[in-house]
Amino acid sequence: MSYDCDAIHHADCITALAELPAGSVDLAFADPPFNIGYEYDVYDDDRERDTYLDWSRKWIAGVHRVLKDDGTFWLAIGDEYAAELKLASQAIGFHTRSWVVWYYTFGVNCTKKFSRSHAHLFHFVKDPRRFTFNDEAIRVPSARQLVYGDRRANPRGRLPDDTWILRPHDCSDGFRPDEDTWYFPRVAGTFKERAGFHGCQMPEQLLGRIIRSCSHPGELVLDPFAGSSTTLAVAKKLGRRWLGFDVSEDYVRRGRERLNAIGPGDALDGAPEPLVSAPTTENGKRLEDKPRRRFVRRNGESVPRLPLSDD
């Protein structure tokens, strides 16, 4: 079976990848099921560990085969299998360029461990000497340029570093685009950019950074787990060719509707600089500054608010 480009296909990715021509894809981005029991409509996300890892090795090997010799593969994965899939990818033949941490807000609120607010983004290449990385597309001025007036500053921008921080909005110099800790809010249910039919949706701006830096206009971007079709939508907006697969017929139908509604050159959804989309701690609202309501709704009626014990 042949699979047309600029399309999303209802197909199992392992079967579909085996039918694609070898060395035909420039960039692949995969956000596979994490095997944590998430309720998809047709996929079982609660497999035995060895079964899941064997399945993962098969589709990763398929991605490796269809990538060009100078191609790039990005893998998004959670904590549970990050180490295993990194090692599996390297055993198949990929070389690690970066281990990016995606730090997000609106994470999972845990009660018996630290609340989860990150995912792992592995940046792999087939050939460690030949690959696409348009660093000029993501570099920003360094502190030496902006703050210290240091003549030794690299005019092309600053180099990556690691950053740990409680609230990214409180650090104006943190979470730069060229660092390996990225800050993007997760696409929560109230966000305007949410497609609405898939619970695991990547931010368009995050995919934009990857596609801009690791591919050129006109090149082919592949997503073997299309899901909400965000990868394909961003690729289309940025003037790339695109190809996706998904085992859910409903996701494919809804993805096609989303893709038909956009065109090359359309703006990406979400804030390009997410740090400015929320106030700093200093400028945030405080409970003591909010006026107390004199009346509250109780059993469908407006009744006087009872005073607190220290009023």
pLDDT score at 39: 77
Give me the percent of the chain exceeding a pLDDT of 70: 65
pLDDT higher than 90, residue 20: yes
Name the token pair of 201: 């949706």
Between 207 and 138, where is the model more confident? 207
pLDDT higher than 50, residue 198: no
Degrees, nearest 5: CA angle 92-227-223: 40
pLDDT score at 89: 98
pLDDT score at 103: 77
Q: Which fold has domain 7-274?
A: Rossmann fold (3.40.50)
pLDDT score at 17: 97
Q: How confident is the model at residue 260 (pLDDT cuts 50, 70, 90)?
A: very high
Query: Can you tell me which residue has the tokens 């092309």?
Result: 156
Phi, psi of 17 (to 5 degrees): -60, -35
Between 248 and 152, where is the model more confident? 248
| Domain regions of the chain by residue span | 7-274
pLDDT higher than 70, residue 299: no
pLDDT score at 234: 97
Q: How confident is the model at residue 310 (pLDDT cuts 50, 70, 90)?
A: very low
pLDDT higher than 80, residue 301: no
pLDDT score at 149: 75
DSSP 3-state of 80: helix
pLDDT score at 38: 74
Cα distance from N-terminal residue to C-terminal residue, the chain = 74
CB atoms within 10 A of CB 228: 23
Phi, psi of 135 (to 5 degrees): -65, -25
**Which has the closest alpha carbon to 248: 51, 33, 50?**
33
Between 143 and 216, where is the model more confident? 216
Following CA atoms 65, 245, 196, 190 in sequence, which dihedral angle do they give, to the nearest 10 degrees?
Answer: 10
Say which range, 60-74, 118-132, 179-193, 200-214, has the weakest mean pLDDT.
179-193
Please give the C-alpha separations between residue 107 and each of 22, 119, 277, 305, in angstroms, as whole numbers. Answer: 38, 10, 17, 33
Query: Can you tell me which residue has the tokens 């971007």?
Result: 221
Please give the C-alpha separations between residue 220 and each of 9, 75, 89, in angstroms, as whole numbers. Answer: 15, 17, 21
Highest mean pLDDT among 6-10, 134-138, 166-170, 186-190: 6-10
H helices present in 188-278, as ranges: 204-214, 230-237, 249-260
**Which has the closest alpha carbon to 24: 208, 219, 216, 218?**
219
Tell me the per-residue pLDDT of 67-116, one tens digit each, with 9 for 90 and over.
999 999 999 998 899 999 999 999 999 999 989 888 776 556 667 777 66
Mean pLDDT of the chain: 79
Say which range, 71-85, 90-104, 163-177, 247-261, has the weakest mean pLDDT.
163-177
pLDDT higher than 80, residue 117: no
pLDDT score at 45: 84
